[in-house]
């Protein structure tokens, strides 16, 4: 990876790793100018590609609708329409749908984490007698396309076995199927498999039963993978369209992903774009706030002789 000189020095100090381009090379003008220019161009391109659409959305959300319609590609708006944002919040009721989305995403997150961690813990650490068979069955389900499951899953949600109470128009119909994610269990199990067994054995000798071992040792050591699964869970739930559309007929329960396309036709463009901005704003802020906590490698430093 090519990096700026400052970053390069920091990296070397932290990990003692060699950078791709040596310090002595960087002192040569041809390398410094050539790579420096390439860095700048790449950075500008990345900003345009990555941030461009979001900045364009911000600009359009506060531009009067007529202005956007008249000159959709103009860089600067003629006047600012803050009312788009207030209208989106009050008239389109984007606040309600945002709340629905948050509840759905949070519920999915909790359900997926609970099932993935407990399932993986049982398969990886407790190791039941037929664990390998269960694992093989789980892996098999990964090969079934989700679209194929749509109809059987719908029938099951409408007529669930044993309970005999339809889950239509209930968030449980979203949370429960999402919780049963074989991918999460497999991912989590692979991580648990790599945790050092000696630590589990030390904990068992120290007095941990299976539950305490899970709560006090395995989960705290699994923060990196919990972060990964959490991001997957929240993003998937935030963007999910088809299943909530099928299950949640009641518009007051629908999330943004279902509601925004539905209101697009009858909502003023500026207000609609403002609603989209609000919808995007929350996950972006959420990611920025939590990314360090989630993605920081807490790792196993010092647990074992490396």
300 binds another protein (CB under 8 A): yes
If the CB atoms of residues 13 and 27 are measured against another protein, the closer one turns out to be: 13
Distance between CA atoms of residues 154 and 89, nearest Å: 32
131 touching another protein, by CB under 8 A: no
**How many angstroms separate the most distant Cα atoms in the chain?**
76
Instruction: Report the residue from 23, 25, 193, 198 that binds another protein according to the rule CB under 8 A.
Output: 198
Give the whole-angstrom CA distance, residue 256 versus residue 72.
24
Residues 244, 262 contacting (CB under 8 angstroms):
no
Q: Return the C-alpha torsion angle 237, 241, 244, 250, nearest 10.
A: 120
Compare residues 9 and 296 and give the one whose CB is closer to another protein: 296
What DSSP designation does 19 have?
Answer: P
Stretch that binds another protein, among 44-52, 106-114, 192-200, 257-265 (CB under 8 A): 192-200
As a whole number of angstroms, the distance between CA 261 and CA 245 comes to 11
> What x/- string results for residues 201 through 240 when contact with another protein is judged by CB under 8 A?
xxxxxxxxx--x---xx--xx-x-----------------
Nearer to another protein, 164 or 305 (CB): 305
| Helix or strand (DSSP H, E) at 7 | helix 5-15
CA distance 266 to 268: 7
Q: Cβ 286 to another protein, closest distance in Å?
A: 24
Listed residue (242, 3, 234) closest to 105, CA to CA? 234
| Choices 12-20, 150-158, 196-204, 248-256; region in contact with another protein by CB under 8 A | 196-204
Region binding another protein by CB under 8 A among candidate stretches 7-15, 77-85, 162-170, 198-206 = 198-206
Stretch of 34-42, 165-173, 193-201, 247-255 contacting another protein, by CB under 8 A: 193-201
DSSP 35-58: HHHHHHHHHHHHHHHHHHHHHHHH
Q: Does 193 bind another protein (CB under 8 A)?
A: no
Size of residue set near another protein by CB under 8 A: 26
Using rule CB under 8 A, residue 103 touches another protein = no
Chain residues binding another protein by CB under 8 A are 196, 198-199, 201-209, 212, 216-217, 220-221, 223, 298-305
């Amino acid at each position: 990876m090519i990096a700026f000189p400052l970053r390069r020095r920091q990296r070397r100090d932290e990990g003692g790793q060699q950078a791709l381009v040596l310090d002595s090379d960087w002192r040569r003008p041809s390398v410094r100018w050539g790579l420096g220019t390439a860095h700048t161009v790449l950075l500008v391109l990345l900003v345009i590609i990555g941030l461009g659409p979001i900045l364009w959305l911000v600009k359009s959300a506060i531009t009067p609708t007529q202005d956007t319609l008249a000159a959709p590609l103009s860089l600067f708006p003629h006047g600012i329409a803050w009312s788009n944002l207030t209208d989106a919040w009050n008239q389109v009721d984007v606040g309600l749908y945002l709340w629905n989305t948050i509840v759905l995403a949070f519920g999915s997150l909790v359900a997926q984490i609970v099932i993935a961690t407990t399932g993986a813990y049982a398969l990886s650490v407790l190791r039941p007698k037929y664990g390998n068979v269960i694992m093989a069955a789980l892996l098999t389900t990964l090969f079934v396309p989700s679209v194929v499951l749509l109809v059987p899953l719908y029938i099951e949600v409408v007529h669930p076995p044993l309970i005999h109470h339809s889950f239509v128009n209930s968030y449980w119909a979203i949370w429960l199927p999402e919780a049963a994610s074989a991918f999460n269990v497999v991912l989590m199990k692979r991580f648990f498999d790599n945790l050092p067994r000696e630590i589990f054995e030390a904990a068992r000798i120290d007095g941990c039963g299976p539950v305490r071992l899970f709560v006090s040792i395995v989960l705290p050591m699994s923060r990196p993978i919990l972060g990964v699964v959490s991001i997957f869970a929240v993003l998937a739930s935030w963007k999910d369209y088809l299943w909530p559309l099928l299950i949640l007929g009641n518009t007051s329960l629908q999330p943004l992903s279902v509601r925004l396309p539905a209101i697009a036709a009858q909502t003023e463009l500026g207000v609609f774009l403002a609603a989209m901005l609000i919808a995007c704003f929350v996950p972006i802020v959420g990611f920025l706030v939590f990314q360090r906590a989630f993605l920081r490698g807490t790792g196993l430093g010092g647990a074992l002789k490396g």
